Amino acid sequence: MESCQGSKCITGFCFVAELPVSPKDCSSSISNGDDADDKQETVDLKIIWNKNKYDLKIPVDSTGAKLKDRIHSLTGLPPAMQKVMYKGLLPEDKTLRDIKVTSGAKIMVVGSTMNDVLAVNTPKEVVQQEVKAEENKKEPLCRQKQHRKVLDKGKPEDIMPAIKGTKERLPTVPLSGMFNKSGGKVRLTFKLEQDQLWIGTKERTEKVPMGSIKNVVSEPIEGHEDYHMMAFQLGPTEASQYWVYWVPTQFVDAIKDTVLGKWQYF
């Protein structure tokens, strides 16, 4: 019988020996896609909502919109129902790096149920439209007799400096040195973690839930366009407006955004 090459012979039958198989021939690498995220620079944040605290680690180049998505996964609060605060209302289109968010930062989140939001804010939108239409029919606010009584006193000596043509976030200290409708000194303190606006005078401090403020009206003061007069509508009609005079113009938009928010319902 002929000899078998590369085989094993048993009683006349040849069996071809199997060649060893390399481990790399029968296995493949598997990735869960997390490697790229692990290499990104991240920040550790403390999310505070509804008296609850959550720890969140997120890439520093995430946008405000992405942060809202992560908050949604933590709290169950939909992004459209969130008012996210970090030195004012957090912009959705900028990154955490852009607004200088660092590890250890506390992010305040204000939000409520859909029923509560619709009950509070839908009338607010209607009132805003009605007030704006009515204002277009009137003479400038600063020329009206009721406001001239205060404005004619002149600019307060201890008013905060104004920077015309710029927009800034709310300062960490109260806005002070302004006048109210009676000509008395008034200061505004924004308690973001409590979603309240504190209106303080020499006599008392009124703590107003921001969700109860129906509208915010403002107008530059003629001859002093770097300052505004501003009204917070605390009730259903204009009769409930609380007027504040000599608000530095750089904070006007931040005040409106913080008090009213930029909600999207549908």
CATH topology of domain 39-110: Ubiquitin-like (UB roll) (3.10.20)
The C-alpha atoms of residue 50 and residue 80 are separated, in whole angstroms, by 16
Tens-place pLDDT, residues 14-54? 444 454 544 444 444 333 344 445 578 999 999 998 888 99
Tens-place pLDDT, residues 143-163? 888 899 999 999 999 999 999
Q: Is the full-model pTM beyond 0.95? A: no
Enter the tokens of residue 184.
């008395």
- Domains of the chain, by residue range, sit at 39-110, 120-260
H/E/C letters for each residue in 46-68? EEEECCEEEEEEEECCCEHHHHH
Tens-place pLDDT, residues 186-209? 999 999 888 899 999 999 999 999
User: 146 — phi, psi (to 5°)?
Assistant: -65, -30
The CATH number of 120-260, from 1.20.1250.20, 3.10.20.30, 3.40.950.10, 2.30.29.30, is: 2.30.29.30
